[in-house]
Amino acid sequence: MRPSSSSTGAPVLFVTKKDGDLDLCVDYNKLNAVTRKNSDPAPPINQLLTIFNSFNIFSKIGFLAAYNLLRIKEGDENLTSLRTKYDSYEYLGMRFGPNNAPASLKNIVNDIFEYFLESFVIVYLDDIMVFSSSEEEHFKHVASVLQILRENNLCSKASKCVFHASSVEYLGYVVSSDGLKMDSSNV
């Protein structure tokens, strides 16, 4: 983020996240209204979740500030400008809010994990699920995923990670060897 000299700026507000941290939310409705939409949507969640049926060991890894990893095209940073009561700023990295951000992140993450996708890895936006049939296999799978994260300078957030579990909350469901159940905290 840097100071902006843009004559316009989106409104902002702070929202409290699950872990108590504050998240700066920018209202990009006006930008989204004039943006050409990326026609590469995320796959339906239920399609992804059917893959887990025959596995019994799971790890979930959540990226730390995933959208910030995407560099905004040089010269277009002013499009992300936001106004506070004190000053104006613009982002150098993508934020969640512009309507093409999820598809852009999906494409990059899918490229990074392309050899593992649906074999033992599912990625949905900024959440990675690793799944295996045995402890030994799972240890190797998680090590491979962590190595790829390291090689690509990607970080995970400890509070968004669960390792070597028999059941894991993922995308609003509890995933286990018993199948899928709606996460009761979302009902």
Query: Domain boundaries in the chain?
Result: 2-186
Q: How far is CA 73 from CA 69, 70, 78, 82, 187, in A?
A: 12, 9, 10, 17, 40
Q: Whole-angstrom Cα distance, residue 141 to residue 121?
A: 8
Least confident stretch, 28-32, 47-51, 85-89, 100-104:
47-51
Q: pLDDT per residue over 45-90, tens digit each?
A: 666 667 777 788 999 999 887 777 788 889 988 888 988 888 899 9
pTM confidence score: 0.79
CATH of domain 2-186: 3.30.70.270
The sign of the dihedral angle between the CA atoms of 75, 80, 85, 86 is negative
Strand (E) or helix (H) holding 170: strand 167-170
Going by C-alpha positions, the residue among 136, 122, 100 that lies closest to residue 168 is 122
Q: What is the pLDDT of residue 95?
A: 81
Other beta carbons less than 10 A from residue 49's beta carbon: 19
> CB burial class (10 A; 0-12, 13-18, 19+) of residue 129?
buried
Q: Please report how many Cα atoms fall inside a 13 Å half-sphere around the Cα of residue 180, on the Cβ side.
A: 14
Q: What is the pLDDT of residue 37?
A: 84
Q: Please state, rounded to an integer, the average pLDDT across all residues of the chain.
A: 85
Is the pLDDT at 168 greater than 80, yes or no? yes
